[in-house]
A and B are shown apart, each in its own frame.
Chain A
Amino acid sequence: DAGVTQSPTHLIKTRGQHVTLRCSPISGHKSVSWYQQVLGQGPQFIFQYYEKEERGRGNFPDRFSARQFPNYSSELNVNALLLGDSALYLCASSKKTFGINTGELFFGEGSRLTVL
């Protein structure tokens, strides 16, 4: 079975631009969560979606938004990019939403964003 797939794997943007990152969860998983990981730090929670609804949001500005599609894939959008947005963006899928016997998160390899 295919794991969690993310695209693109690497991208370079300039300040002020917009970026869209994509994630396809494992087949049968209805939950997708997004994390930002800066080098040397733990993943920081951005969003969780379950059954196409937002179920959790981290402490990120409104420049960050996401959505989940009927096939459970997801997009993370970041507007007005700042240098500090440079990071590895990880997507994780799971069968259930947080708080209901969540179980294991399966992470994708991530999208590495560099903002110049």
Chain B
Amino acid sequence: QQPVQSPQAVILREGEDAVINCSSSKALYSVHWYRQKHGEAPVFLMILLKGGEQKGHEKISASFNEKKQQSSLYLTASQLSYSGTYFCGTEILTGGGNKLTFGTGTQLKVEL
């Protein structure tokens, strides 16, 4: 049930763009995106709700294809501070309780 992320890793030069994808085999209620820097806790970036509502940051955008159970995170004009591991979290409503399950992560490194 863990969402699958791609790519696993990407290296960018400052100013370049990147797209990180997240897909699930389950019907999703929402998709969360978090960034974790080495040795630190994950930090919230974006949440996309079923029905199209989007909440997040100005410089980072995302999409949520409910039919395909896929989400993509768009990082434009990357900065050094964007480096870290990006996780998508998929929220699934089940009869046995609700879960927020994180993917395997995408390591992003931005270089000068």
For chain A, the count of residues having a C-beta within 8 Å of the partner chain is 27
Contacts of A54 in B (CB 8 A): 97
Which of A10-18, A63-71, A74-82, A99-107 forms part of the interface with chain B? A99-107
| Distance of A45 Cα from B94 Cα, bound (Å) | 14
A98 contacts B100, C-beta separation under 8 Å = yes
Q: Determine the distance from Cα of A15 to Cα of B34 in the docked complex, in whole angstroms.
A: 33
Taking a contact as CB atoms closer than 8 A, the residue among B55, B101, B104 that contacts A45 in the complex is: B101
A57 touches B41 (CB 8 A): no
B87 at the interface (CB under 8 A from A): yes
- Across the interface, do B97 and A42 meet the contact criterion of CB distance under 8 Å? no
Binding site for B on A (CB under 8 A): 33, 35, 41-45, 48, 54-58, 90, 97-99, 101-110
Residues of B whose CB lies within 8 Å of any CB of A are: 2, 29-30, 32, 34, 40-44, 47, 49, 55, 87, 89, 91, 93, 96-105
Task: Other than A45-B101, A57-B96, A58-B99, give 14 A-B pairs with Cβ distance below 8 A.
Answer: A42-B102, A43-B42, A43-B87, A48-B97, A48-B98, A56-B99, A57-B97, A98-B98, A102-B32, A102-B47, A104-B47, A105-B32, A107-B41, A110-B41
